[in-house]
Structure 1
Amino acid sequence: MSQPDDQLLKRLLAMFEVEAEEHLSAIAAGLLALEQSPPRDRAQELVETTFREVHTLKGAARAVNLGDVVAVCHAMESVFAALKGGRLALTPAGLDLLHQGYARVRGLLDGSAAAGPDQDALVAALDAYAEGREPASASAPGRAAPSFPAAAPADPMAETVAETVDEALVAEAPRAAGRPTLRIATSKVDALLRHAEELVSARLAAGRQVSDLCGLASDAAERVRAHERARRRLEEGGDSPAARLLKQQGDTLRWLSGRVAQLANAGRQDLRILGKMLDSLLDEAKQVLMVPVAALLEPMAPLVRDLARAEGKEVDLIIRGGDLEIDRRIQEEMKDALLHLVRNAVAHGIETPEVRAGRGKPRRGTLAITVGQTEAGRAEIAIADDGAGFDVDGLRHAAADQGLMSAAAAAALDDDAARALAFRSGLSTSGLLTETSGRGLGLPIVQDKVERLGGGLALESTVGLGTVFRIRVPVTLASFRGVLVEVEGACFILPTGGVERVARVAASAIATVENRETIVLDGRTLGLVRLADVLGLAPVRPNRAPPSHHTVAVLSRGGQAIAFVVDRVRDEQEVLMKNLGPQLARAAYVTGASVLATGEVALILNIPDLLAGAAQAPMAIRTTVAVSRRKSILIAEDSITARTLFKNLLEAAGYQVRTAVDGVDAWAVLTGGDVFDLLVSDVEMPRMGGFELTTKVRGHPQLAALPVVLITSLGSREDKERGVDVGANAYLVKDSFDQGNLLQIVSHLV
Structure 2
Amino acid sequence: MNNVDLIRKLQAAFKTEAKERLRELSSDLIKLEKNPGGDGCDEVIESMFRQVHSLKGASRSAGLREIEKIIKALENVFSALKRKQIKIMPEMMDVLHHATDTLADFADTLGNNQPSDHKNQVCEIVEQINALSSGESPGKTKFVKKKPEPVKEAIAIIKEEESHKKEIPPPKEFAEDTLTKSDRSKDKTQTVRVSLKKLDLLMLQAEEMLQVKLLANQHKNELEHIIEMLELLQKEWGRVADTTRILTQIIKKKGESGNRERSALNSVSKLMALVASNQDQSRIFESRLISLVRSAHRDKRVISELVERLLKDMKDVLMLPFSTFLEIIPKIVRDLSRDQGKNVKVSMEGGEIEIDRKILEEMKDPLIHVLRNCVDHGIEKQALRKKNQKPPMGTIKVMVSQVNGDRIEISISDDGAGIDLEKVKEAAIEKNVVSRQEASGLSDKEVFDLIFQSEVTTSSIVTDISGRGLGMAIVREKIERLGGKVSIESRLGQGTIIRALLPITLATFRGVLVEAGNQQFVVPTASVNQVVRINPDDVKTVENRKTIPLNGHRIPLVRLDDVLEIPPKEQTFASKIPALVLGTREKRIAFSLDNVLDEEEILFKSLGNQLSRVRNIYGATVLGNRKVVSILNVTDLIKSAMHVRPMVARGAVGKKAAQISVLVAEDSITSRMLLKTILESAGYRVKTVIDGLEALTELKQTKYNLLVSDVDMPRMNGFVLTEKIRKDKTLGDLPVILVTALHSREDRERGIDVGANAYIVKSSFDQSNLLEVVQKYI
TM-score norm. by structure 1 comes to 0.53
Distance 2:282 2:569 in 1: 47
Instruction: Report the Cα distance in structure 2 between the residues aligned to 1:481 and 1:169, rounded to whole angstroms.
Output: 28
Q: Alignment length, in residue pairs?
A: 486
Q: Secondary structure at the match of 1:296?
A: helix
Q: Report the counterpart of residue 340 of structure 1 in structure 2.
A: 369
Deviation at 1:457, TM superposition (A): 1.1
Matching of residue 328 in structure 1 with residue 339 in structure 2: no
Partner of 1:604: 631
Given that residues 388 and 463 in structure 1 are in contact (C-alpha distance below 8 angstroms), is that contact kept between their aligned partners in structure 2? yes
Matched ranges for 1:262-661 at <5 A = 268-398=297-427, 412=440, 414=442, 415-542=444-571, 544-545=572-573, 547-556=574-583, 559-581=586-608, 587-596=614-623, 601-618=628-645
Local SS of the residue matching 1:616: coil
2:275 aligns with none
Cα offset for 1:357?
2.5
SS at match of 1:518: strand
Decide whether aligned partners of structure 1 residues 250 and 305 sit closer, same or farther in structure 2, where only a CA change above 3 A counts: closer
Evaluate the alpha carbon distance shift between residue 555 and residue 10 of structure 1 in structure 2; reply closer, same or farther with a 3 A threshold.
same
Matched AA of 1:443: M
* Deviation at residue 331 of structure 1 after TM alignment: 0.6
Summarize deviations over 1:507-530 as a string: whole Å, max 9, x none. Answer: 222221232212232343322111
Quote the residue 2:262 is aligned against: none
Distance 1:192 1:488 in 2: 33
Is 1:530–1:621's contact at 8 Å kept on the other side of the alignment?
no
Assess if the C-alpha contact under 8 Å between 1:450 and 1:457 holds in 2.
yes
Amino acid at match of 1:111: N
Contact 1:319–1:368 (Cα < 8 Å) also in 2: yes
Distance in 2 of aligned mates of 1:411 and 1:252: 76
8 Å CA contact 1:529–1:620 kept in 2: the answer is: no
Q: Is contact 1:313–1:352 with CA below 8 Å preserved after alignment?
A: yes
The 8 Å contact of residues 424 and 457 in structure 2, kept in 1 or not, is answered as yes
CA 1:202–1:509: 2 relative to 1, 3 Å: closer
Distance 2:98 2:597 in 1: 48
Residues 12 and 64 in structure 1, CA contact (< 8 A), matched pair in contact too: no
Match of 1:194 in 2: 207
- In the TM superposition, residue 294 of structure 1 has moved relative to its aligned partner by 1.8
Note closer, same or farther for the CA distance 1:440–1:338 as it changes in structure 2 (3 Å cut).
same
Deviation at 1:470, TM superposition (A): 1.0
Assess if the C-alpha contact under 8 Å between 1:63 and 1:303 holds in 2: no
Change (3 A) 1:391 1:173: farther
The amino acid that maps onto 1:566 is L
Contact 1:318–1:368 (CA under 8 A) maintained in structure 2: yes
**How far apart are 1:305 and its partner, in Å?**
2.7
Contact 1:192-1:285 at 8 Å conserved across structures: no
- Aligned-pair distance for 1:406? 9.3
Q: Kindly state the Cα deviation for residue 476 of structure 1 after the two structures are TM-superposed.
A: 0.4
Query: d(CA) in 2 for partners of 1:116 and 1:613?
Result: 59
Residue of structure 2 equivalent to 1:165: 175
Compared CA separation, residues 116 and 212, structure 1 to 2 (3 A): same
Which deviations, in whole Å up to 9, do the C-alpha atoms of 1:261-312 show, x marking residues without a partner? 8777655544433332222222222222222222222211222233233323
Aligned to 2:191: 180
Alignment partner, residue 683 of structure 1:
none
Judge conservation of contact 1:519–1:527 (CA < 8 Å) in 2.
yes
CA contact (8 A) 2:218 2:624 kept: no
1:548–1:302 distance in 2 versus 1, CA, 3 Å? same
Alpha-carbon spacing, 1:443–1:109, altered in 2? closer, same or farther (3 Å): farther
Q: CA deviation at 1:319?
A: 1.5
Are the equivalent residues in 1 in contact too, given 2:476–2:486 (CA < 8 A)? yes
Measure, in 2, the Cα distance between the counterparts of 1:197 and 1:264. Answer: 21
- C-alpha distance in 1 between matches for 2:508 and 2:288: 40
Provide the alpha-carbon RMSD of the alignment.
5.4
Report the residue type matching 1:501 in the other structure.
Q
**Residues 328 and 208 of structure 1, relative CA distance in 2, 3 Å threshold:** same
Aligned to 1:636: none
| SS of 2:451 mapped into structure 1 | helix
Contact preservation (8 Å) 2:427, 2:456? yes
Which amino acid is the alignment partner of residue 478 of structure 1? A
Q: Percent identity, please.
A: 34
The structure-2 alpha-carbon separation of the partners of 1:501 and 1:211, relative to structure 1 and needing over 3 Å to count, comes to: closer
Q: CA offset at residue 469 of structure 1?
A: 0.7
How far, CA to CA, are the matches of 1:407 and 1:497 in structure 2?
34
Q: Matches of 1:393 and 1:472 in 2, distance apart?
A: 27
Q: Distance in 2 between matches of 1:275 and 1:171?
A: 26
The amino acid across from 2:23 in the alignment is: L
Q: Which residue of 2 aligns with 1:203?
A: 216
How many Å separate the matches in 1 of 2:463 and 2:611? 43
Kept in 1, the 8 Å contact 2:568–2:647? The answer is: no
Residue 182 of structure 2 contacts residue 190 of structure 2 at CA under 8 Å; is this kept in 1? no
3-state SS of 1:203 partner: helix
Q: Partners in 2 of 1:420 and 1:377 — Cα distance?
A: 26
**One-letter amino acid of the structure 2 residue matched with residue 609 of structure 1:** D
Q: Deviations over 1:686-715 (max 9, x none)?
A: xxxxxxxxxxxxxxxxxxxxxxxxxxxxxx
Q: Is the contact between residue 234 and residue 279 of structure 2 (CA under 8 Å) also seen in structure 1?
A: no
Where in structure 2 are there 5+ consecutive unaligned residues?
Answer: 1-16, 28-96, 123-158, 164-172, 239-277, 650-778
Shift of 1:438: 3.4
Q: What is the SS of the residue equivalent to 1:538?
A: coil
Query: In structure 2, what residue type is equivalent to 1:191?
Result: L
Structure 1 stretch 178-187 or stretch 330-339: which is displaced more? 178-187
Secondary structure in 1 matching 2:558? strand
Counterpart position of 1:57: none
Cα offsets for 1:651-699 (capped at 9, x unmatched): xxxxxxxxxxxxxxxxxxxxxxxxxxxxxxxxxxxxxxxxxxxxxxxxx
Quote the Cα distance in structure 2 between the aligned partners of 1:520 and 1:253: 52
**Aligned pair in 2 of structure 1 residues 191, 256: CA closer, same or farther (>3 Å)?**
closer
- Supply the distance in 1 between the matched residues of 2:483 and 2:491 (Cα, whole angstroms): 27
Q: Which residue of 2 aligns with 1:24?
A: none
Once the 2 structures are TM-superposed, how far is the Cα of residue 10 of structure 1 from its aligned partner?
6.7
CA–CA separation in structure 2 for the residues paired with 1:537 and 1:282: 36
CA separation of 1:393 and 1:257: change in aligned 2, threshold 3 A: closer
Deviates more, 1:249-258 or 1:468-477: 249-258
Residues 499 and 305 of structure 1: is their aligned pair in 2 closer, same or farther, counting only changes over 3 Å? same
Could you say if the C-alpha distance between residues 8 and 520 of structure 1 is closer, same or farther in structure 2, counting changes exceeding 3 Å?
A: farther
SS of residue in 2 equivalent to 1:351: coil
| Counterpart amino acid of residue 179 in structure 1 | Q
Moved more, 510-519 or 455-464: 510-519
In the other structure, the counterpart of 2:243 is: none
Give the C-alpha shift of residue 368 in structure 1: 1.3
Q: Which moved more, 1:362-371 or 1:454-463?
A: 362-371
Instruction: Flag structure 1 segments of 5+ consecutive residues without an equivalent.
Output: 14-61, 71-103, 120-157, 226-248, 623-750
Q: d(CA) in 1 for partners of 2:292 and 2:306? A: 21
* Partner SS for 2:398: strand
Q: 1:110 to 1:4 in 2, by over 3 A?
A: closer
Cα distance in 2 for partners of 1:471, 1:5 equals: 30
CA drift at 1:439: 4.0
